[in-house]
Amino acid sequence: MRTPRFSDVAEPSSECAVTKFLIHTPTSRREVPYFRPSIGEEEINAACETMRSGWLTAGPRAKEFEDDFGAFVKAPYTIAVASCTAALQLALEAMGVGPGVDVLVPTMTFASAVAVVVHLGARPVFVDCDPATLNMDVADLERRITPKSKVVVPMHFAGQPCALHEIRAIAEHHGLRVIEDAAHALAATYHTEPIGSISEVSCFSFYANKGMTTGEGGMIAATDEDLARRMRFMAYNGINRDCLTAAGVKRWWKYEVVAPGYKANMTDIQAAIGIQQLKKARRFRDERQHCADLYRALFDMVPSVRAPVVLQGLTHAWHMHVIQLELDQLRIGRDEFSLRLEEMGAGHNVHYLPLHMHSYYRDTFGCRAEDFPVAMSAYDRILSLPIYPGLADADIEYVVECIAAVADQYRR
């Protein structure tokens, strides 16, 4: 259990062409959106063909997408679902999470990943983050385990795999099961193993701004057959089709409701888009890597800004590019910094406002801001910058120029 050291930090994976960089004066004004999806004619044609095919909802294309995705992440079982949120809920349900159970979750994550714990009647137990990577802090995880803890849901923040070996060791020691929230981590690897192939269940998101998209959508990748069977029928009304008629034969209309399931299946229209997007997923990741390399080279020349820490031995998916401002060197805080960037047309966002700070969790579970000091301190300093396929180098240079100009203007 250790925090990353400087020697762990990986070098950029490719050379960046940084020829000219103006720190004090941004070049002429640009509008750089925080995100733009990459949808080609292939996806449009595939969606149209599906609509003409006469089969719209889960069918042959969903099956094909599941098979392709399983091959991509090297997972034996895959289930295409309506969202990553649905995937997480199905995984928790299949592991028997319900009233009286505690689930360990990061506070530095998206709301829906924890709401599903509450929907199942269980209690979320928040875990603080590592100051360098913003992933779940493994020492804090171990401290927060309660006698009722049954499952831990690590999330790969921004697309950088979290410390899965350590988390697995803690989980085994304390009898916890692991569900990976891999919403950010498509095409990421953990010491050569693809995310999706490691834990019993990993949940991916195909929301519009993810590593690939189906508009909305998600995928469960599982290594455990029994869990996969349960999640598959719970994703479709709790219907089990592996049953026989009274005459002892299989008929397409014969099914048995074995549990009050959810309606969480993916449609064939989404799957048709997904099949095409998946073919581009590695290129998309590589383009995001290029953006990250360029940011890194440019931020080397900008004081008061900490570029993301990247650990060695991992493939980062670069779903997000989160910098941290050195507030002790600045006369303004992140919020005012954000306003200045907005005025300059430099798109950005903040991920995340830690969940334990939200009124619902504060009032319902008695969470206190000071119980998660690392997340609180990080929240004050973080800014997510544009990173996506097709983002021009000139746009990245402009965003960094704007950040450098604001930092310069408000330096202590």
Ligand X SMILES: Cc1ncc(COP(=O)(O)O)c(C=O)c1O
Q: Which residues bind ligand X (CB under 6 A)?
A: 83-85, 109-110, 112-113, 155, 181, 183-184, 205, 207, 218
CB of 150 closer than 8 Å to CB of 97? yes
Per DSSP, 247 falls in state: T
**Positive or negative, the Cα torsion across 168, 169, 172, 175?**
negative
Q: Which of 198, 193, 192 is nearest to 171 (CA)?
A: 198
Element (H, E) at 221: strand 218-222
**Shortest distance, CB of residue 356 to ligand X, whole angstroms?**
15
Q: Which lies closer to ligand X via its Cβ, residue 112 or residue 338?
A: 112
Q: Which lies closer to ligand X via its Cβ, residue 374 or residue 400?
A: 374
**Shortest distance, CB of residue 193 to ligand X, whole angstroms?**
20
**Shortest distance, CB of residue 212 to ligand X, whole angstroms?**
12
Q: Which lies closer to ligand X via its Cβ, residue 35 or residue 255?
A: 35
Residue type, 82: A
Q: How far apart are CA 126 and CA 361, in angstroms?
A: 10
Q: Which lies closer to ligand X via its Cβ, residue 156 or residue 230?
A: 156
CB of 369 closer than 8 Å to CB of 357? yes
**Shortest distance, CB of residue 241 to ligand X, whole angstroms?**
26
Q: Which lies closer to ligand X via its Cβ, residue 83 or residue 277?
A: 83
**Shortest distance, CB of residue 179 to ligand X, whole angstroms?**
11
66 burial (CB, 10 Å; 0-12 / 13-18 / 19+) is buried
**Shortest distance, CB of residue 117 to ligand X, whole angstroms?**
12
**Shortest distance, CB of residue 87 to ligand X, whole angstroms?**
8
Q: Which lies closer to ligand X via its Cβ, residue 213 or residue 304?
A: 213
Q: Which lies closer to ligand X via its Cβ, residue 183 or residue 344?
A: 183
User: 61: number of CA atoms within 13 Å, CB side?
Assistant: 25
Strands 123-127 and 102-106, sheet pairing: parallel
**Shortest distance, CB of residue 217 to ligand X, whole angstroms?**
7
Cα 147 to its chain centre, rounded Å, is 28
Q: How far apart are CA 346 and CA 395, in angstroms?
A: 9
Residue type, 184: H
Query: C-alpha angle 352/175/316, rounded to 5°?
Result: 35
Q: Which lies closer to ligand X via its Cβ, residue 128 or residue 397?
A: 128
28 burial (CB, 10 Å; 0-12 / 13-18 / 19+) is exposed
**Shortest distance, CB of residue 170 to ligand X, whole angstroms?**
20
Ramachandran region of residue 237, left (φ > 0), alpha (ψ -120 to 50) or beta?
left
Q: Which lies closer to ligand X via its Cβ, residue 84 or residue 317?
A: 84
Q: How far apart are CA 351 and CA 304, in angstroms?
A: 19
Q: Which of 387, 311, 308, 383 is nearest to 353 (CA)?
A: 383
